[in-house]
Amino acid sequence: MGWFEAYVIATTTPKPLAAASVAVEAAAGCVLAAPVEAVRPVPAFDTAAMDGYAVAGPGPWTVTGQLLAGVADTGPLAAGTAVEIATGAVVPEGTGAVLPYEDSVLGDGIVSGRLGARAHIRRAGDDVRPGDVLVPAGRTVNATIVAAAVQAGVERLSAHRRPTVTLLVTGDEVIDSGVPGPGQVRDSFTGLVTAVSVRAGAEPVVRRHVRDVAALLEAELADARTDVVVVSGSSSAGAADHLHGVLGRLGATWHVRGVACRPGHPQALAELPDGRWVVSLPGNPYAGLVAALTLLEPLLTALGGRPPVALPEVAVGGRAKLMPGGVRIVPVHRDPGWRIAAETSSAGLHAAAGADALAVLPETWTDGDPAPILAVP
Ligand SMILES: Nc1nc2c(c(=O)[nH]1)N[C@H]1C(S)=C(S)[C@@H](COP(=O)(O)OP(=O)(O)OC[C@H]3O[C@@H](n4cnc5c(N)ncnc54)[C@H](O)[C@@H]3O)O[C@H]1N2
Ligand code: MOO
């Protein structure tokens, strides 16, 4: 299967997870399944827009007291009187305007001053009225949306659940910490998969290390209670590569099984009979990164109900060993102008580490031609 076909399948096949009622404070990163509608007006009450004096009728005014923000029981204000008032305090009934300190003169308990064109009172509902749509469905909830919803009295939102992810790290030679012994390597995938998942709006990744035993991998796959299970390594044909056999026994449906790209050719996307998704990342770390950007990020984006990741095209300069019948995926620097960083093996991450993106070069690409790019996580 071609790389673009695989990318489109991962982008368009998964349907958004069902909408749920989510506490507004926990909704950041979720995609709204319904518009957010105001419950209470903003401001919630008539409130002073300036520090100064709330005055009633024509001046000068006798100052009768002081009102700070948070005081609810104000009592009415009679003509010819004033109360000293703080920005955000409830304006008493009968108030004609708030006279800012800087426009006022106070002496012997009497305040005087010229009222300007503006009353400096923000009326209840001036900004938002109950039922007003604050944000339409389809938007990803950010901190500002959360704050606006809270301000308008919204407690819960209808939003697509954020996808949950388990990462199964396979490989008896892979260690999680410390100095590798002979034949061992440090795990490269936990950080990469976490970063790609977070960027795509998923919940924090649950991670497990699985020994290279088919029955253990099968048990972990069967037990993982997340929407997506990512498996690093075990994607190929070696004696310890059990994933394809295990997925066959679990009755998985293959959506992508091998992609005509270098690196990352053995990557795969499958669906278990209960609807959980499985993404297979080749064990070579750069190949695994390519697969995470090709299949995992679009999958998680779609499950969360987010709009597809943009795949910008830029003119790419430099040289690359192209892949006959497929695409070559190379690290590229942005400045000055998009250029290929370096030739890289499917194992080394060093060239990608210094790059801004990975460029997807078709076999017909020549120096300066446009190519789609994937931002490195
Ligand atoms: N006979 C064939 N052999 C291979 C083929 C093939 O088509 N026929 N494909 C090659 C390609 S391409 C790739 S990519 C790899 C994929 O290998 P696996 O996904 O099965 O992964 P492993 O064999 O377990 O490991 C490969 C390599 O990656 C290192 N690795 C694994 N996990 C990690 C990790 N978490 N962190 C860092 N490095 C890791 C592992 O030590 C190996 O060096 O297969 C080729 N072979
Ligand atoms: O294509 Mo493999 O995915 O070279 O490393």
What CATH number has the domain bearing residue 298?
3.40.980.10
The answer on pLDDT for 269 being more than 80 is yes
- Structure confidence by residue, pLDDT tens digits, 290-303: 999 999 999 999 99
The answer on pLDDT for 73 being more than 80 is no
Cα 320 vs. chain centroid, distance in angstroms? 33
Q: Are residues 186 and 132 in the same domain?
A: no
The pLDDT, as a whole number, for residue 342 is: 82
The answer to whether the CB of 283 is under 6 A from ligand 1 is: yes
Q: Is there a domain that residue 368 lies in? A: yes
- Structure confidence by residue, pLDDT tens digits, 102-150: 999 999 999 999 999 999 999 999 999 999 999 999 999 999 999 999 9
The answer to whether the CB of 283 is under 6 A from ligand 2 is: no
Mean pLDDT, range 348-372, rounded to an integer: 96
Distance 14 CA to ligand 1 centre (A): 27
Residue 343's CB is within 10 A of a number of other CB atoms, namely: 14
The answer to whether the CB of 265 is under 6 A from ligand 2 is: yes
Mean pLDDT, range 56-64, rounded to an integer: 96
Q: Are residues 236 and 213 in the same domain?
A: yes
Q: Are residues 110 and 144 in the same domain?
A: no
The answer on pLDDT for 72 being more than 90 is no
Distance 211 CA to ligand 1 centre (A): 15
Q: Are residues 337 and 325 in the same domain?
A: yes
Distance 326 CA to ligand 1 centre (A): 20
**Pocket test residue of 265, 267, 293 for ligand 2, highest count of atoms within 8 A of CB:** 265
The pLDDT, as a whole number, for residue 145 is: 98
Among the three residues 160, 186, 209, which one is the final residue of a domain in this structure? Answer: 160
The pLDDT, as a whole number, for residue 106 is: 97
Distance 265 CA to ligand 2 centre (A): 5
Q: Are residues 203 and 229 in the same domain?
A: yes
Mean pLDDT, range 57-80, rounded to an integer: 93
Could you list the residue range(s) of the whole structural domain that residue 134 is in?
A: 19-41+126-160
Lowest mean pLDDT among 7-16, 66-75, 295-304: 66-75
The pLDDT, as a whole number, for residue 99 is: 98
The answer to whether the CB of 294 is under 6 A from ligand 2 is: no
The answer on pLDDT for 329 being more than 80 is yes
Q: Is there a domain that residue 102 lies in? A: yes
- Structure confidence by residue, pLDDT tens digits, 211-244: 999 999 999 999 999 999 999 999 987 888 899 9
Q: Is there a domain that residue 170 lies in? A: yes
Element spanning 199, H or E: helix 189-199
The answer on pLDDT for 343 being more than 80 is no
The residue whose CA has the least distance to atom 3 of ligand 1 is 237
Domain count, the chain: 4
For a pLDDT cut of 70, what percent of the chain falls above it? 100
Among the three residues 160, 179, 208, which one is the final residue of a domain in this structure? Answer: 160
Separation between Cα atoms, residue 190 and residue 185, nearest integer Å = 13
